[in-house]
């Protein structure tokens, strides 16, 4: 009997006939490259039997993916705390700092676009190793060059690596977990982003320069050389030396390190054959027909893009402007309290993603998205009326925002891959739309914030929450009516 063995790491099929095994490596790469040119219809979520247990090699793969996303969180959320030191090193001023963020975001956008071609030429493990190594090098040497243009180019390279690995990690999660475990695995890797985002600023703090007050006592001698000498105390403010170079070297090593186990796991799976993924389907049996792209599919992809753009734009707008809202609204809270609210928002988001790992195995993506969007609408509408009424109300609903928004990203990726044409194209749409949302929406909201006042932030969140809920309802109706029936 001839058996087919789908490989969960790089998605190829090994054929076993008699006593010998034949690895169709070259044919697989060719087929995957051709699939990219043919609307990328290669199934992304393979059939995984429900009775197949999760083995040690699966958990090692998942841990590797989580560590890759921890590095992603470090790169994204460490730029803000270290920005002033980087500007000081490069000899520029704060007015040009936005170019660094633009270069990083542009790199992520470009990396998300080219990722299918990278994984079409290389297997995921090999491609991940190469990209993580380059991303780690770009990160480690950022402060080494004192030229601002070179810094921007390095952040562009870092962003490209973030974009490519982001798509690759989600792709491997979907292949590794199949229909049963993909939701849980996606929530786990996105929890890694939260962990990196939390520890990044804490790690950076000891390496940053700080303003200190130095008190000096000198002996004043009068001009007439009398014996009535007096002591004068001079207080001056100075800047301590920045060691941000060492911080970026550490982050670069953390980013590049998971590339080694990703490469080792790829070859370990190939050598062992991974009996966990052995499929008893006979090779002579007909392969299940792959779904074809229809007009409804493309409409769903457009709606998915709109959903992701608005969702990430809303999340980033609140994170960026929450401190400004707390300070400039009727509450008139101190800046330290506003920063504390931001920390609470991210901690509640991380806690929600941690619980999301457990919930994703028990509830469908549809159920999780329904609960998340309902909470977001309730919190957004309530805050549009009572957002500046009291600090307690603001705190309660900031926590509610963190809880409701945290699991949307992993759930929408799994929903899209499970309901729309199952290919890596869905993941690419999500990541490209995410970059567009982060680049466009926060700047628009910030300008409206300056023109119309602080409460425009809460009005915008309420409006976007309602809009993405309506978009998701339309997506679900289109799926039920035009795709599921067919």
Report the percent of the chain where pLDDT is more than 90. Answer: 26
**Token pair belonging to 433:** 């739309």
**Which residue, 302, 301, 300, 317, is CA-closest to 462?**
317
At what angle are helices 456-478 and 295-328 packed, to 10 degrees? 160
221 C-beta neighbours (distance < 10 Å), count: 12
Q: Judge whether residue 220 has pLDDT over 80.
A: no
Buried b / exposed e across 361-371, counting CB within 10 Å, b at 16+? eebebbebbbb
Residue-range domains of the chain with CATH: 1-290 (1.20.1250.20), 293-486 (1.20.1250.20)
Q: How confident is the model at residue 241 (pLDDT cuts 50, 70, 90)?
A: low
Inform me whether the pLDDT recorded for 272 exceeds 80.
no
pLDDT for the residue numbered 486: 62
Q: Are 242 and 207 in contact (CB under 8 A)?
A: yes
Question: So what's the pLDDT on residue 424?
Answer: 56
Q: 293 vs 35, 42, 91, 108, 305, CA distance in Å?
A: 13, 12, 53, 27, 17
Rounded mean pLDDT of 427-449?
A: 85
484 HSE (CA, 13 A, CB side)? 9
Q: Would the pLDDT of 162 be above 60? A: yes
Say how far apart CA 123 and CA 121 lie, in whole Å: 7
Half-sphere exposure of 178 (CA within 13 A, CB side): 16
pLDDT of residue 159: 93
Q: Average per-residue pLDDT in the chain?
A: 77
**Burial class of residue 466 (count of CB atoms within 10 Å of its CB; 0-12, 13-18, 19+):** middle
Residue 24 has pLDDT above 60, yes or no: no
Condensed to tens digits (0 to 9), the pLDDT of residues 334-353 reads 877 887 888 888 888 888 88
Say what the pLDDT of residue 9 is.
41
For the stretch 382-404, pLDDT in tens is 999 998 888 999 999 999 999 99
Cα–Cα distances in angstroms (integers) from residue 12 to residues 24, 64, 137, 195, 401, in the given order: 8, 20, 30, 32, 41
The per-residue pLDDT for range 448-466, each reduced to its tens digit, is 888 888 899 999 999 999 9
Listed residue (116, 115, 65, 426) closest to 265, CA to CA:
65
Poorest-confidence range of 17-21, 105-109, 403-407?
A: 17-21
Higher pLDDT, 74 or 420: 74
212 HSE (CA, 13 A, CB side): 10
The pLDDT score that the predictor gives to residue 309 is: 93
Task: Give the pLDDT band (50/70/90) at residue 84.
Answer: confident
As a whole number, mean pLDDT of residues 35-48 equals 40
Question: What is the b/e burial string over 293-311, where b = at least 16 CB atoms within 10 angstroms of the residue's CB?
Answer: eeebbeebbebbbbbbbbb
Give the sheet arrangement for strand 20-23, strand by strand.
20-23, 13-17, 2-6, 279-282
Q: What pLDDT shows up at residue 381?
A: 94
Q: Can you say how many angstroms the Cα of residue 380 is from the centroid of all Cα atoms in its chain?
A: 23
pLDDT at residue 485 in the model: 63
Residue 177 region by backbone torsions, left for phi larger than 0, else alpha for psi between -120 and 50, else beta? alpha
pLDDT of 244 > 90? The answer is no
Instruction: Give the mean model confidence (pLDDT) for residues 103-117.
Output: 88
The helix or strand, by DSSP H or E, that contains position 234, with its residue range, turns out to be strand 230-239
The pLDDT confidence band at residue 51, using thresholds 50, 70 and 90, is: low
User: Residue 283 has what DSSP assignment?
Assistant: T
The pLDDT tens digits for 283-340 are 333 444 555 667 888 888 899 999 999 999 898 888 878 888 888 888 888 877 887 8
The residues, ordered by sequence, that sit 6+ positions from 205 with a Cβ below 8 Å of its Cβ are 81
How many DSSP H helices and E strands does the chain contain?
A: 15, 6
User: Do the beta carbons of residue 379 and residue 400 sit within 8 Å?
Assistant: yes
pTM above 0.85, yes or no: no
153's tokens: 């180019």
DSSP state of 211: E
**360: CB partners within 8 A, 6+ apart:** 183, 184, 186, 187, 368, 407, 410, 411, 414
- H or E, element range at 45: none
Nearest to 374 by CA among 239, 309, 470, 271: 470
Tokens of 204: 């950076």
Gap between the Cα atoms of 88 and 312, Å rounded: 31
Quick check: 66 and 189 in contact, CB under 8 A?
Answer: yes
SS3 assignment, position 63: helix
What percent of the chain is modeled with pLDDT above 70?
Answer: 75
Range with the poorest average pLDDT among 28-42, 350-364, 389-403, 436-450 = 28-42
């Amino acid at each position: 009997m001839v058996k087919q063995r789908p490989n969960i790491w790089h998605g190829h099929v090994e054929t076993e006939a008699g006593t010998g095994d034949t690895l169709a490596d070259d044919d697989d790469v060719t087929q995957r490259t051709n699939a990219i040119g043919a609307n990328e219809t290669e199934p992304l979520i393979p059939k995984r039997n429900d009775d197949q247990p999760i083995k040690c090699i699966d958990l090692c793969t998942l841990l590797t993916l989580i560590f890759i996303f921890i590095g992603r969180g470090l790169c994204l959320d460490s730029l803000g705390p270290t920005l002033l030191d980087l500007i000081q090193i490069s000899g520029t001023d704060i007015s040009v700092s936005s170019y660094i963020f633009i270069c990083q975001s542009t790199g992520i956008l470009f990396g998300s676009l080219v990722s299918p071609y990278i994984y079409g030429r290389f297997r995921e493990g090999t491609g991940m190793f190469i990209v993580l190594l380059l991303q780690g090098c770009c990160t480690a040497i950022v402060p080494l060059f004192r030229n601002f243009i070179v810094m921007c180019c390095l952040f562009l390279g870092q962003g490209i690596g973030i974009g490519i690995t982001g798509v690759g990690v989600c792709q491997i999660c979907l292949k590794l977990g199949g229909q049963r475990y993909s939701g849980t695995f996606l929530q786990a890797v996105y929890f890694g982003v939260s962990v990196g985002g939390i520890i990044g600023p804490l790690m950076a703090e000891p390496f940053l320069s700080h303003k200190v007050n130095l008190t000096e006592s000198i002996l004043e001698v009068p001009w007439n050389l009398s014996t009535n000498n007096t002591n004068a105390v001079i207080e001056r403010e100075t800047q301590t030396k920045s060691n941000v170079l060492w911080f970026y070297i550490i982050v670069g090593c953390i980013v590049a390190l998971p590339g080694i186990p990703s490469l080792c796991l790829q070859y370990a799976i190939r050598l062992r054959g991974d009996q966990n993924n052995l499929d008893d389907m006979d090779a002579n049996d007909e392969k299940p027909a792959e779904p074809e792209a229809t007009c409804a599919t493309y409409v769903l992809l457009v709606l998915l893009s709109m959903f992701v753009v608005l969702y990430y734009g809303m999340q980033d707008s609140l994170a960026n402007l929450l401190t400004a809202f707390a300070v400039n609204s009727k509450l008139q809270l101190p800046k330290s309290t506003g920063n504390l609210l931001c920390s609470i928002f991210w901690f509640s988001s991380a806690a929600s993603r941690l619980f999301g790992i457990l919930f994703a195995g028990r509830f469908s993506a549809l159920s999780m998205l329904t609960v998340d969007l309902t909470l977001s609408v309730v919190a957004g509408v309530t805050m549009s009326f009572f957002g500046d009424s009291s600090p307690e109300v603001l705190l309660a609903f900031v926590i509610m925002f963190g809880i409701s928004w945290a699991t949307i990203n992993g759930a929408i990726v799994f929903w899209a891959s499970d309901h729309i044409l199952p290919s890596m194209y869905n993941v690419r749409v999500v990541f490209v739309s995410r970059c567009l949302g982060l680049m466009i929406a926060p700047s628009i909201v910030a300008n409206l914030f300056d023109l119309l006042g602080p409460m425009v932030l809460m009005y915008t969140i309420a409006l976007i929450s309602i809009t993405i809920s309506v978009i998701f309802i339309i997506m679900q109706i289109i799926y039920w009516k035009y795709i599921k029936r067919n």
